Chains A and B, each alone.
Chain A
Amino acid sequence: GAGVSQSPSNKVTEKGKDVELRCDPISGHTALYWYRQRLGQGLEFLIYFQGNSAPDKSGLPSDRFSAERTGESVSTLTIQRTQQEDSAVYLCASSLKAVYNEQFFGPGTRLTVL
């Protein structure tokens, strides 16, 4: 079946604009994760959704960042009033359930804030 997909692949925006990044998880995967990867760095956890439970937002770096997920499907990561330090690759992953299952990653969205 299809893997995790993300859109857009690349996004260039101006400082101060809002952006929305989309993630389509693998069908049937109840857990969904967002990570940020700055240039030359490892991935940093941002937020985690598991079914209908309250999301774990402990990794969001500021209140400019928010994310939503509709049921067990699509998720959107929104960054308001973008700053240059928000430039990074944003990766989404999904897994079958919360108690250990392999996380399958999407190809990421490269965000560049000018």
Chain B
Amino acid sequence: AQTVTQSQPEMSVQEAETVTLSCTYDTSENNYYLFWYKQPPSRQMILVIRQEAYKQQNATENRFSVNFQKAAKSFSLKISDSQLGDTAMYFCAFMKRAGAQKLVFGQGTRLTINP
């Protein structure tokens, strides 16, 4: 079975700063996907960024980028130039490439951006 661990329950930074959220996972699979989801108070889960395990290049989406270390099973999210609207719960998630495409989530990190 796969497990996803987020070791930072809460983080807080000032607006415009850079923040990094940590995620580690455990799996025996070789082909899989990793994701970061954002959940604001509205409860709506929003995909922030995804990484395919067979790609060595780290994924980037505007101010969001990841540091994917496959051997270490680490998948951190970096948010640059943080904005007030980035305040939310952030969840790291894993999906096997084969079989049922269910997501396995970490416990989440509550991120607060202060003005």
Which A residues fall within an 8 A CB radius of B?
A: 31, 33, 35, 40-45, 48, 50, 56, 58-59, 89, 91, 93, 95, 98-103, 105, 107-108, 110
Mark out the residues of chain B between 18 and 71 whose CB falls within 8 Å of any chain A CB in the assembled complex. 33, 42-47, 50
B108 and A89: CB pair below 8 A? no
Query: Is the CB–CB distance between A42 and B44 below 8 Å?
Result: no
Contact of B108 among A41, A100, A101 (CB under 8 A): A41
Q: Which residues of B contact A (CB under 8 A)?
A: 4, 6, 33, 42-47, 50, 91, 93, 95, 97, 100-108
> Are B103 and A43 in touch, CB under 8 angstroms?
yes
Q: How far is the CB of A67 from chain B (nearest CB, A)?
A: 14
Q: B45–A56 contact, CB under 8 A?
A: no
Q: How far is the CA of A105 from the CA of B91 in the complex (A)?
A: 14
Partner among A31, A40, A89, A91 whose Cβ is within 8 Å of the Cβ of B101: A31
Complex Cα gap A93–B44 (Å): 11
Q: Give the dominant DSSP class at B's interface.
A: loop
Are A99 and B91 touching (Cβ within 8 A)?
no
Beyond A42-B4, A42-B106, A43-B93, 9 additional pairs, beta carbon < 8 A: A33-B102, A33-B103, A40-B108, A42-B93, A45-B104, A48-B102, A91-B45, A99-B101, A110-B43
Question: B47, A107: Cβ atoms under 8 Å?
Answer: no
Residue contact B101 to A98, C-beta cutoff 8 Å: yes
Question: Are A41 and B107 in touch, CB under 8 angstroms?
Answer: yes
CB-contact partner of B91 in A43, A89, A95, under 8 A: A43
Do residues A48 and B107 form an inter-chain contact, with CB atoms below 8 A? Answer: no
Please list 20 pairs of residues, one from A and one from B, whose beta carbons are closer than 8 Å in the complex, sorted by A's number. A31-B101, A40-B107, A42-B6, A42-B93, A42-B106, A43-B45, A43-B103, A44-B105, A45-B104, A48-B101, A48-B102, A56-B102, A58-B100, A89-B43, A91-B45, A102-B50, A103-B101, A107-B44, A108-B43, A110-B43
